[in-house]
């Protein structure tokens, strides 16, 4: 009986996801240390970006951060990056990946979600985990401008879930490859997970950022149907989604939002080569419900490591020279599907 169960487990394991080659630094195996060290202890990265404001069809706007603004006849690959919840071009993981893409000789552009570039957006609603309108519009603009380019795209955390939804809902997109990193592919279980144990500290940090953004829009009359006192009663991400995210975006409840926006149920519809990276010890995610619940097509690679934390993945033998594995693994995967041409 034990042998049968073991064989069955490994057969299912092999079909649904594969073992990542990532090995954490011997001095950084704890999930929280991986998560926090990547953010707070990395040396300051130098990165100069060019900002472009993209006006949207509904009257709102998003800001783009380019590593360089390519000419119309550019033939080098362009990689689009989607950040996580309340992130920006200055987020440690985004800055690191922008630099990594630039070092490959490619062009990178980070799409700020609405209200995440340092100024509030013009509408009451901003962005959420299943909102693919802006990445859809940006993609159309890019292929119109740069008709000789190969495009790839990647998303971190919430941005990874948005990307999963986009790739599944728009299968005839121009991207040759994609990467989804530490994404909350089952939103309901992830909102519960971040409200447990030490993870509540992450929740408190993110929740305060969400509240601050909402307060700014209330003060400037962009949001009229929510009072500041209502925010005082919100203590969890679930509460925020129930009282703010869901009603502002046309959902009846947080659960309705989670059901409609989660990436896991639709990932098998993705048609292009896509790498999913997930750590079993991610303190933001429910491991068992974030991994695939169904057999995936061969062009989808879902890698699971036992360690890595949330967008951490630090390895190397020297504590004074940590190495950031994502910035090697992700470009390597993208490189298998996009051609490198050094001409502009």
Report pLDDT digits (tens) over 56-87: 999 999 999 999 999 999 999 999 999 999 99
Q: Where do runs of H (alpha helix) occur along 233-325?
A: 237-240, 246-248, 254-261, 287-290
pLDDT for residue 105 is more than 70: yes
Structure confidence at residue 27 as a pLDDT band (50, 70, 90): very high
Catalytic residue positions, numbered? 157, 282, 310
> pLDDT averaged over the chain?
93
In whole angstroms, give the CA distance from residue 6 to residue 9: 5
Please identify which residue in the block is written with the tokens 């509030």: 120
Residue % of the chain over a pLDDT of 90: 90
Residue 243 has pLDDT above 80, yes or no: yes
Task: Report the 10 Å Cβ neighbour count for 291.
Answer: 19
Bridge partners of residue 62, in order along the sequence = 54
Q: What is the pLDDT of residue 339?
A: 60
Long-range contacts (CB closer than 8 Å, 24 or more residues apart) made by 256-260: 257/128, 257/129, 257/130, 257/187, 258/186, 258/187, 258/188, 258/191, 259/188, 260/130
Asked if residue 175 belongs to a domain, the reply is yes
Number of domains in the chain: 1
Give residue 101's pLDDT: 98
Residue reference for tokens 């491991």: 287
Residue ranges making up the domain that contains 189 = 23-335
**In this predicted model, what pLDDT tens digit does every residue of 137-192 receive, in sequence order?**
999 999 999 999 999 999 999 999 999 999 999 999 999 999 999 999 999 999 99
pLDDT of 30 above 80: yes
CA distance 137 to 22: 35
Helix, strand, or coil (residue 99): helix
Helices (H), 49-171: 92-103, 133-145, 158-169
Query: In whole angstroms, how large is the CA radius of gyration of the chain?
Result: 20
Do the beta carbons of residue 98 and residue 87 sit within 8 Å? no
Residue 15 lies in a domain: no
Residue 1 pLDDT > 50, yes or no?
no
Split at pLDDT 50, 70, 90, the class of 276 is very high
10 domain-assigned: no
159 within some domain: yes
Give the residue-averaged pLDDT of 234-251.
Answer: 98
Confidence band (pLDDT; 50, 70, 90) for 5?
very low
Question: What is the C-alpha to C-alpha distance for residues 252 and 256, in angstroms, rounded to an integer?
Answer: 6
Task: Read off the CATH number of the domain in which 224 is found.
Answer: 3.40.50.1820
């Amino acid at each position: 009986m034990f042998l049968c169960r073991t064989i069955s487990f490994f057969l299912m394991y092999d079909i649904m996801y594969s073992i990542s080659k990532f090995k954490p630094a011997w001095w950084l195996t704890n999930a929280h240390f991986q998560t926090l060290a990547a953010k707070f202890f990395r040396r300051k990265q130098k990165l100069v970006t060019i900002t472009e404001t993209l006006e949207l069809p509904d009257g709102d706007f998003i800001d783009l951060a380019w590593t360089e603004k390519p000419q119309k006849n550019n033939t080098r690959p362009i990689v689009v990056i989607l950040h996580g919840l309340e992130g920006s071009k200055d987020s440690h993981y985004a800055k690191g990946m922008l630099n990594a893409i630039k070092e490959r000789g490619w062009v990178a552009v980070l799409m700020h979600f609405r209200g995440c570039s340092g100024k509030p957006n013009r509408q009451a609603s901003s962005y959420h985990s299943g909102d693919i309108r802006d990445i859809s519009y940006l993609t159309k603009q890019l292929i119109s401008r740069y008709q000789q380019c190969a495009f790839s795209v990647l998303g971190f955390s919430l941005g990874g879930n948005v990307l999963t939804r986009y790739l599944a809902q728009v299968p005839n997109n121009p991207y040759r490859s994609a990467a989804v990193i530490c994404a909350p592919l089952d939103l309901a279980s992830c909102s519960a997970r971040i409200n447990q144990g030490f993870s509540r500290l992450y929740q408190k940090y993110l929740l305060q950022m969400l509240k601050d953004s909402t307060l700014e829009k209330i003060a400037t009359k962009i949001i009229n149907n929510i009072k500041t006192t209502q925010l005082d009663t919100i203590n969890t991400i679930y509460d925020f989604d129930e009282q703010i995210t869901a009603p502002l975006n046309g959902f009846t409840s947080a659960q309705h939002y989670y059901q409609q926006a989660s990436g896991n149920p639709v990932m098998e519809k993705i048609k292009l080569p896509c790498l999913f990276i997930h750590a079993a010890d991610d303190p933001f995610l429910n491991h068992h419900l974030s991994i695939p619940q169904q057999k995936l097509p061969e062009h989808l690679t879902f890698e699971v490591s036992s360690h890595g934390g949330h967008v951490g993945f630090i390895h190397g033998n020297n504590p004074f020279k940590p190495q950031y594995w994502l910035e090697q693994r992700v470009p390597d995967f993208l490189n298998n599907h996009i051609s490198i041409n050094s001409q502009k």
